[in-house]
A and B are shown apart, each in its own frame.
Chain A
Amino acid sequence: MTDTSDIPLLAIKDLTVEFKTRSGVVEALHEVGFEVHKREMVGVVGESGSGKSVTAYTVMGILDRAGRATGGSANFGGFEMIGARERDLRELRGREASMIFQSPRTALNPIRKVGAQIEDVLLQHTQVHHRDVKQKAIDLLAQVRILRPEQRYHAYPYELSGGMCQRVMIAIALACEPALLIADEPTTGLDVTTQKATMDIVRDLTSARNMAAILITHDLGLAARYCQRIVVMQSGEVVESAPTDVLFSDPQHPYTKKLIQATPRPDSRLEDLSDVAKDDERVSAATASTELEVEGEAPPLLEVRGLVKEYPLHETAERRRVMDRILRPNLTPSPSVFRAVDAIDFVVGSGESVGLVGESGCGKSTTSSMVTRLLDPTEGTILFDGEDIGAIPARKFARHPLRAAIQMVFQDPTESLNPRFSAFDAIAEPLRRLGAPMDRTSLAHTIEELATMVGLPTELLTRFPHQLSGGQKARVGIARAIALRPKLLILDEPTSALDVSVQAVVLLLLDRLRRELGMTYIFVSHDLNVVRLLCDRVIVMNEGRIVETGKASELLTNPKEDYTRALVEAIPHFGQSEGMPTLEGSVA
Chain B
Amino acid sequence: MATTSIAPATASSLPKEELLQAYREMLLIRRFEERMAQMYQQGKIGGFCHLYIGQEAVAVAAQHALRPDDYMITSYRDHAHPLVRGTDPMRCAAELFGKEAGVARGKGGSMHFFDVERNMYGGHGIVGGQIPVATGMAFASKYREEDRVTMCFFGEAAMNQGTFHESLNMASLWGLPVIYVCENNQYGMGTALERASAVTDLSRRTAGAYNIEGYAVDAMDFFATYELFKKCADKARQENRPTFIDAICYRFRGHSMSDPVHSHYRTKEEVEEMRKKDPIRVMVRHFDENGLYEEAFLKDVDKEVKEHVNDAVKRAVESPDPGLETRWEDVYTD
Q: Are these two chains actual partners, yes or no?
A: no
